[in-house]
Structure 1
């Protein structure tokens, strides 16, 4: 049981590294034509960028299906990828971009830092020159800004 929990945790944490790398070098690289939709304002409920979410959802599902007969390591890797996807959706799409209006403005320093870092990332509407490509790990300078803003409110 502990080994399975460790696989889920390691996979979840590893997905942050995968997300950062994919975002910086693939989404802002040769697949910019899909990710560009995320850096522009539009009236549509979906964007081409959502295909990345679909890809990871399929990947997670494949691991779960092939690992299900014996609940081997593949099952738990799929669960870790799926949990990361769920957290990513809640943080990125629901909390930061407000695609679903479920949460109000954050007064938590960590959540505020995430929001600030993501807004800094979106200041650039081009493929080049962006910063802050991760989702759950936040540079310490954004914590400092967030602490100031939380204290002001």
Structure 2
């Protein structure tokens, strides 16, 4: 049962990420997220990186209280959020933004679609008129763009 809760939480985080990215990061917390769209320096860290701590906090709290309940459902939810955060870090920061040079020349259609959708998102330098707020799931047109070229 705990594995099911972890997996369900992981996949539900995609919807939560879309909502938070569109309405919080591009809304009232735009001041923290802005430098991620308008990078004009070569610094390793940006204000946007503070979202790591903001999003990790509920996962830590859930795992803490869940561990007190002999690793019950709260712990599993916290673990699902944590696994999503790890996936986000590897795909977004390492693969897409190349903070560590990895899979730079991939030909994988799925990874290329994610990268293209994220480029479309970053095309907008202001908080309004954005698109592609998701992370692991992006609009079908980006998948079609790369999967049709595989044949």
TM-score by length of 2: 0.93
Q: Deviations over 1:70-103 (max 9, x none)?
A: 1011110110000000000000000000111233
TM-superposed CA distance for 1:45, in Å, is 0.7
Distance 1:102 1:78 in 2: 28
Distance 1:91 1:30 in 2: 25
On the 8 A contact 1:64/1:75 being kept in 2, the answer is yes
* Residue 80 (structure 1) aligns with: 80
* Residue 66 (structure 1) aligns with: 65
Distance 2:26 2:110 in 1: 25
* Residue 37 (structure 2) aligns with: 39
Distance 1:18 1:68 in 2: 24
* Residue 113 (structure 2) aligns with: 113
Aligned residues: 149
Calculate the aligned-residue CA RMSD, in Å. 1.4
On the 8 A contact 1:40/1:125 being kept in 2, the answer is yes
Moved over 6 A (4+): none
Distance 1:88 1:22 in 2: 14
Q: Deviations over 1:94-143 (max 9, x none)?
A: 00001112332221111110000000000000111110000001111001
TM-superposed CA distance for 1:151, in Å, is 4.3
Distance 2:5 2:92 in 1: 24
Given the alignment, which residue of 23, 26, 43 partners 2:24?
26
* Residue 141 (structure 2) aligns with: 141
TM-superposed CA distance for 1:53, in Å, is 1.4
TM-score by length of 1: 0.92
Distance 2:13 2:90 in 1: 15
- Where does structure 1 lack aligned partners over 5 or more consecutive residues? none
On the 8 A contact 2:112/2:146 being kept in 1, the answer is yes
